[in-house]
Chains A and B, each alone.
Chain A
């Protein structure tokens, strides 16, 4: 079945640092989405990517849709404490004859450096 490999699994951030995470797959996706989940809440969409090679920004966040359509990355510049949470990538693919279902990576957990 479809699988997304998201890395790193976890990382510690210090305020002001830049952060990078990525997702890869052996399958091709039509769309890549990046979500953030705060504790006790549902995932919230950060960025949507629709075309191979597309680079999209949302404030301090920048995401790219890989040219091969098998990967995507998310960068956070100048991190702040409220960036802490779990970040998920998701790819849109065809499933069971019905177009456009999502498959999620296992998440990257951002925590503050002690």
Chain B
């Protein structure tokens, strides 16, 4: 069972470079999310998509853009990477039903910006 698949698993960028992190889920979930995880900070929401065709900002959206390509795929783009964006990025999806928002996570993308 694939669940939530993220690519790439690792990436090193130079300051100013751009890249797109890919995420796909095969659970027919309506909602998808992007988080970043930094030491001692837990998981912080960057952007989310409650349903196909909609996206909204989370707690830390600055420096990022997202695209909900279809129901399965939700990508995160860094237009001009900065060292402060060095982090582990997680994609998640859920079949959000009112308060029952159980999110399933991918294995993460470890990004270093030099």
A 79-110 to B, binary, CB cutoff 8 A, 1 in contact else 0: 00000000010001001101111111111000
**Among A43, A92, A99, A106, which residue has its beta carbon within 8 angstroms of that of B40?**
A106
A40 within 8 A of B: yes
Q: Contact check, B101 vs A40: say whether CB atoms are below 8 A apart.
A: no
Interface residue stretch chosen among A11-19, A44-52, A55-63, A70-78: A44-52
Q: Contact check, B4 vs A42: say whether CB atoms are below 8 A apart.
A: yes
Interface residue stretch chosen among B12-20, B52-60, B69-77: B52-60
**Among B4, B40, B48, B59, which residue has its beta carbon within 8 angstroms of that of A1?**
B59
Q: Is the interface of B mostly helix, strand, loop or mixed?
A: strand
B50 within 8 A of A: yes
Closest chain A residue to B50 by CB distance? A98
Q: Contact check, B102 vs A105: say whether CB atoms are below 8 A apart.
A: no
Q: Contact check, A101 vs B4: say whether CB atoms are below 8 A apart.
A: no
Closest chain A residue to B49 by CB distance? A98
B65 within 8 A of A: no
B80 within 8 A of A: no
* Given A1-B59, A31-B100, A99-B98; A104-B108 close (CB under 8 Å): no
* Given A101-B45, A106-B40; A42-B99 close (CB under 8 Å): no
Q: Contact check, A96 vs B107: say whether CB atoms are below 8 A apart.
A: no
Q: Contact check, B107 vs A101: say whether CB atoms are below 8 A apart.
A: no
Rounded to whole Å, the gap between the CB of A110 and the closest CB of chain B is 16
Which residues of B pack against A, CB within 8 Å? 4, 31, 33, 40-45, 48, 50, 56-59, 90, 92, 94, 96-108
Would you give 18 A-B contacts (Cβ < 8 Å), ordered by A? A1-B59, A31-B99, A40-B108, A42-B90, A42-B107, A43-B43, A43-B90, A44-B105, A45-B103, A48-B100, A92-B99, A100-B94, A100-B97, A100-B100, A101-B101, A102-B101, A103-B45, A104-B43
